[in-house]
Amino acid sequence: MIAIVQRVSEAFVKIEGKIKGEIQIGFVVLLGVTHTDTKDDIEWLSKKIVGMRIFSDEDSRMNLDLNSINGNILLISQFTLYSSTKKGNRPSFIVAARPEIAIPLYEKMIFQLEKDLGKSIQTGEFGADMKVSLINDGPVTIILDSKNKI
């Protein structure tokens, strides 16, 4: 799994002109799923996201995690994170998991993030045409790859 974690002061996702999910301070997480992802990838990535200390403390140092600031998560599925651009100018998405594999893993990620964060998270809708708006705070953007844990 690949996650792009963006520290935000606010964010929302619209589907067909209606807000589906909305948060104030916290993370927008763009999640890509590949066909080899497992429960271990979900657990590792969720703990990493929830424990990420990238919010400023009283000394303006990135030292606080989501729980410390009562932050929230807006999770958006994004198969394009597994694009291959090696040949030509049209990306290939063959490494991205097909919906029959990706949807259950995405749903398990929602459950795991809620468990690790200790509260409900906001989401987009898998496979929908979504419009995501956010104010990236910092900007701070972190890339996490469960297959590259070093």
pLDDT digits (tens, 9 = 90+) for 70-86: 999 999 999 989 988 88
The region of weakest confidence among 17-31, 115-129, 136-150 is: 136-150
Determine, yes or no, domain membership for 150: no
Ramachandran category for residue 68: left, alpha or beta (phi over 0 → left; psi -120 to 50 → alpha): alpha
Reading the block at residue 6, the tokens are 């963006």
Residue 139: cis peptide before it, omega within 30 degrees of 0 = yes
* Annotation marks residue 80 as catalytic: yes
* Annotation marks residue 112 as catalytic: no
| pLDDT for 1 | 97
Determine, yes or no, domain membership for 42: yes
Instruction: Give the integer Cα–Cα distance in Å for 2 and 132.
Output: 18
| CA distances, 59 to each of 4, 26, 47, 56, 91 (Å) | 26, 19, 25, 7, 43
Q: Which of 78, 112, 122, 123 is catalytic?
A: 78
Determine, yes or no, domain membership for 58: yes
Tally of CA atoms within 13 A in the half-sphere of 78 that contains its CB: 19
CATH number at residue 13: 3.50.80.10
pLDDT tens, 85-117? 888 888 889 899 999 999 999 999 999 999 999
Q: Which of 79, 112, 122, 123 is catalytic?
A: 79
Parent domain of 36: 2-145
Give the predicted TM-score (pTM) of the model: 0.94
Determine, yes or no, domain membership for 88: yes
Determine, yes or no, domain membership for 51: yes
Q: Which of 80, 93, 111, 141 is catalytic?
A: 80
pLDDT tens, 17-74? 999 999 999 999 999 999 999 999 999 999 999 999 999 999 999 999 999 999 999 9
Total structural domains within the chain: 1
Q: Cβ(27)–Cβ(66) under 8 Å?
A: yes
